[in-house]
Amino acid sequence: MVVDFYPVKFVDGTINSRQVLKIVTFMGGTQSKSMINKRDMEREIASRVDGYGYTVTDFHTEPQLLNSALCCAC
d(Cα 44, Cα 40) in Å, to the nearest integer? 6
Most confident range (mean pLDDT) of 10-14, 42-46, 57-61 is 42-46
Query: Does 36 score more than 60 pLDDT?
Result: yes
If you average pLDDT over residues 26-36, what whole number do you get? 94
Q: What is the pTM of this model?
A: 0.83
Instruction: List, in sequence order, every beta strand (DSSP E) within the chain.
Output: 2-9, 15-26, 29-37, 64-65
Alpha carbon 23 to its chain's center: 6
β-bridge mates for residue 56, sequence order: none
pLDDT class for 74, splitting at 50, 70, 90?
very low
Q: Average model confidence (pLDDT) for the chain?
A: 89
